[in-house]
Structures are given as structure tokens and as C-alpha cells.
Amino acid sequence: MKTILVTGGAGFIGSAVIRHLINETDHTVVNVDKLTYAGNLESLVSVSANARYSFEQVDICDAAEIQRVLLQYQPDIIMHLAAESHVDRSIDGPAEFIHTNIIGSYTMLEQARLYWTDLTEAKKSNFRFHHISTDEVYGDLEGTDDLFTETTAYAPSSPYSASKASSDHLVRAWHRTFGFPTLITNCSNNYGPYHFPEKLIPLVILNALAGKPLPVYGTGNQIRDWLYVEDHARALVLVATSGDIAETYNIGGHNEMQNIEVVKTICHLLEELAPQKPAGVEHYEDLISFVTDRAGHDVRYAIDASKIQKELDWSPIETFDSGIRKTVQWYLANLDWCEHVLDGSYQQ
């Protein structure tokens, strides 16, 4: 049994990791989250009373507070997920992304390194710092058959992806310069329960149920590899506990789809699962609205996840068909959670 500190544990992916750790392992979990707009403790209600779970409302840029938490809880593993992660927001206001994703990651690395340096040899040899990143650091793919591998050159397109690329470089530098035991994972687009409603899939579900337009950038031909968040959580815990130090693992869902296909799939599912439509709506697809494309929009992402499958025996359980059905069903069954996010009451 280990003590695992998760930064950004109240976020979409972080909360899935914590639910997995509490429900499927014997590890103790410390959740460190500033509780920005994307942090929602309601996503952790099912595990928050567990004796193996602790929460600390701390900003990862606050070195003194991070030092206190590390000394108080003595973690064996740090899983660093805390980040600003919405591309549109990074275009509107890059500064917060630079601050959180670069300065915050530096602060976590340096405070963790200082903590690690003073550990006993036995504890030091078992310590790991797992940095969770994105496939967007690679830019986009030109060909229809190319895949991102762990050695693909970085070519970020947005302030968000550039800030994540910067943090990846810091993590590798801390390993090479200081011998600090790090691992990195780069994942494809996540979806599933508890996803913040500004992201494509929950936005489409909730807008459709409300009879609002379903905005699609450009022609909707952008291709993404979709990864069910609970599959991702399993992979992250596996890498954190069993991956090789200094290695990078790409995690993908093997589910490439155009954005317009994703939107239409959701509409078809809603026809079946929510046939009582809002007034004036004959078909959910009628709500699709094409809008001006995002600046610098990457066209295609696709991940080669063969390394993690071969070396750690991980592969996704969910297909896109099974995962998106579960996702739509979850949102239909948890409209209270959605309403609390949309009206802001989850932050109180």
C-alpha cells in the first residue's frame, strides 16, 4: 500500500483517477486541488468519506504550501494532473496557462525534488513523479495513416499545448540533471462521466437536451482519438506504479472520429435515450450549427499506444460506441450534477 498524491484531483481526469484508486486499490490518496472553475468536489462524493482519502485545497504554485503537504503526508508517488486545459480559454487568456502549467509544474518538480532528496534510501528508491500530459504537444498529423509515438517531435499549436510541452521538457530536465525519478504520459482526447460541460461531448449532450444550437467548428472534419476516462485512469495508475523511470507512455483509445461524426452519434443516441425533445425540435441533428473555426485548429490527432500495451499490458476496454453510450446515459441520469456546474453552485 502506497500513499499517492494527486494534483488536480477534483478535475475531470483527476477525479476518475482518485475514484479508481479508492475503489480498486488499497492505496491512500491525497487530493491537492486549488478548486478553480474546473475543480468540482461533487465528482468525488462517492469516495470522499473513505478513510484512505484526504483533501488539501492548495495552489500548486504555492511552494510553501506544497512543501507542507509533502512533509505532512509523505507520499510515495506524485501524480501531477493539475493544469489549465481548455484550448479556447488559452487563446482568450494565455497568461493563466503559462502560470499554472509551467510555473506550477516547476514548483511541483522542485518541491518534490527537495522532499525526495531528504528521504531514506529505501523510500527514495521507490519514489516516483508521474507527469500527465497531452497528445496536443505533438501538433497535428498531416497524413491519414500517421500516428504519434513517444519519439514524435514536439510542435504545439496553441498556448495550451505549448505550455504543456514546456512542462514536459521541465520534467525530462529534472530527471536528466538531478536524477529525479520521473515518468510522463501523453493521452488523447478523454470523454466520460463528470466531464466539465464546456468540452465538446458534454456540451453537445446538454445543449441538445435544452434545444440549444450544437456548435461545430468549421466543417467538423477535425479528427480526434477518443479515450474513455476510466480506461485512462487505469492506465495512469498502472504507469505510476509499474512504469519504468524516465520513460514516456502514449495512451490512446484506438477510436479516431471526426468531430461531426461524434456530434451526430450523440444526436442518434439521444433520439433513442431521450425521445421527448424540447419544444420545436423535430430531430436533434437539426440543432447542429457550424461556426467559425478556431484559430490554429489542429486537424488530426492519433496515438500509437502499442508501447504501453506491449510493456504494461494495458489496452482500452471501451470502444467509442460503448463508451459514448455510457457517457450519454450518465449525463441523463445526473442532470443535478450538470445543473450545479452550469449555475455555479458547485463552487460554493
Active site members: 135-136, 160
CA distance 141 to 148: 8
Angle at 113 between CA 112 and CA 118, to 5 degrees: 100
Strands (E), the chain: 3-7, 28-32, 53-56, 77-80, 128-134, 182-187, 189-191, 214-217, 223-228, 248-251, 256-258, 288-291
> What phi-psi label fits residue 280: left (phi over 0), alpha (psi between -120 and 50 degrees) or beta?
left
CA distance 298 to 321: 24
Beta bridge partners of 185: 132, 249
Task: Measure the CA dihedral 321/14/97/250, to 10°.
Answer: -60
Angle at 319 between CA 40 and CA 158, to 5 degrees: 55
Which residue is listed with cell 482526447? 189
The answer to whether 201 and 266 are in contact (CB under 8 A) is yes
Spatial CA neighbour of 133 closest among 303, 327, 330: 303
